[in-house]
Amino acid sequence: MSETEAKRLVFAMLDADGDGIVSKDEYSARAERVARASGRSGDDPLVVAARAAGERAWAAMDANGDGGVTFDEYEAWAGADAFDTVCEPVLGALFDLADADADGALDVHEFTTLRTALGNPADNIRSAFEALDTDGDGRVDRDDYLASIRAHVTGGNSPMGKALYGGGSL
């Protein structure tokens, strides 16, 4: 799968209403959905941190400040630099929301909670978990999770993405 195709799948996940534009509300809703799915209150420090990381990411992604991001804007923005400086903190904060026991890893239930709240197809989540649980201990490490997403957005091999979408995407 090409990097552009992989980015299209991420963009489609972010564009919850399918209108071709990711709005600030759609982007911000990700933290709220994960918080709700993981049973966290709005004033939980991890929810507050996830919202703040999301605000910083939105400001970077919506570079022209018009309140919406088209696929062309997203494609031009997304990549290794954007991931390392903007996306990783957001995705790490969302991971932390789902990490109920704060051990730095997700079990299959926590992983399913996270990925379902982010809009992934429920029927492929288990295979994505298994693809990341390379040592078979029933846990997905935060660093491995983030590395798989980074690989996806930079056109590399993403075991989780392949399992979720059959071609390397998240």
Q: Which of 40-44, 118-122, 165-169 is modeled with the greatest confidence?
A: 40-44
pLDDT of residue 151: 84
pLDDT tens per residue, range 94-114 = 999 999 999 999 999 999 999
Question: Residue ranges per domain, the chain?
Answer: 3-165
Fold for 3-165, please state it: Recoverin; domain 1 (1.10.238)
| Confidence band of 166 (pLDDT split at 50, 70, 90) | low
pLDDT of residue 12: 86
The DSSP-derived string for 42-99 is TT-HHHHHHHHHHHHHHHHHSTT-SSEEEHHHHHHH-SHHHIIIIIHHHHHHHHHHH-
pLDDT of residue 164: 67
